[in-house]
Amino acid sequence: MSAFITPDLRRRLKSRKTAVAGIAAVAATTVALSLAPSGEAEAGVQTEAAAAAPVAWKADSKQVAAVHESITSQKSAFEAQLKATQAKAKAEAKAKAEKAAAEKKAAAKAAAEKRAKEQAASRSAARPAKVTYPNNLDGWIREAMAIMKKHDIPGSYEGIHRNIMRESSGNPRAINNWDINAINGVPSKGLLQVIKPTFDAYHIPGTSWDQYDPVANIVAACNYAADRYGSMDNVNSAY
């Protein structure tokens, strides 16, 4: 069939196609404009043009500064609140630790005082209470007898008292300056009239070395009498 189309006919057909396409485009535009008000159609065209153009926004320096200041202020407030919370927690922890340490120290002190009291009570219970004796003949004899008991020295209250009254009448400072001992330079002294060599030989540790001391004099004399006569109770005259 192409053999029957002449060049002239081909030009005419091409011209007709172009015309038809143009008519169709114009018709479509006409239909679109007819469906909308003229103002909206114009706005639509402008909107498409505006959308096609790049958007440019320029920030206001005052607004930026205000936003920056607000953020900085909020940050400072948050940091201040955080520091205050941390400081409060630290102070509470410190106070709690100090309280615990004080309670521990008080408990240790109370325990130490309790132990000290218990130990003192135990020592007091372990050792007998110290006996005090009156400073008179009765007290001297009883104290001397307590010492004699520890050293297994025999002698009764009656035997000691009887010999004391005969020898010195109960005077601890009594001295014999007339008998043979006095002549020999060693007078008898004290409650039981003991000479110095005898006193020194039969002295009991823990008592005084003073020959006139009433307790030391009785103990040494009774120790001598026990060695010589078996007991002071067996002495009924000068010994």
Q: Are residues 141 and 109 in the same domain?
A: no
Structural domain count, the chain: 2
Q: Are residues 213 and 158 in the same domain?
A: yes
Q: Are residues 123 and 178 in the same domain?
A: no
User: Is the distance from CB of 216 to CB of 207 less than 8 angstroms?
Assistant: yes
- Residue 1, classed as helix, strand or coil, is coil
Residue 216 neighbours by CB under 8 Å, 6+ apart: 199, 203, 204, 207, 208, 209, 210
Q: Are residues 160 and 213 in the same domain?
A: yes
Domain range enclosing 107: 79-130
Q: What is the rounded distance in angstroms from the CA atom of residue 103 to the CA atom of residue 3?
A: 123
Assigned domain for 65 exists: no
Q: What's the whole-model pTM score?
A: 0.49
Task: Give the residue from 130, 150, 171 where a domain finishes.
Answer: 130
What does the pLDDT read at residue 77? 87
Backbone region of residue 183 per phi and psi (left: phi > 0; alpha: psi in -120 to 50; beta: other values): alpha
Q: Are residues 118 and 172 in the same domain?
A: no
pLDDT tens for residues 147-161?
Answer: 999 999 999 999 999
pLDDT tens for residues 208-230?
Answer: 999 999 999 999 999 999 999 99
Q: Are residues 99 and 184 in the same domain?
A: no
Assigned domain for 29 exists: no
User: Is the distance from CB of 190 to CB of 172 less than 8 angstroms?
Assistant: yes
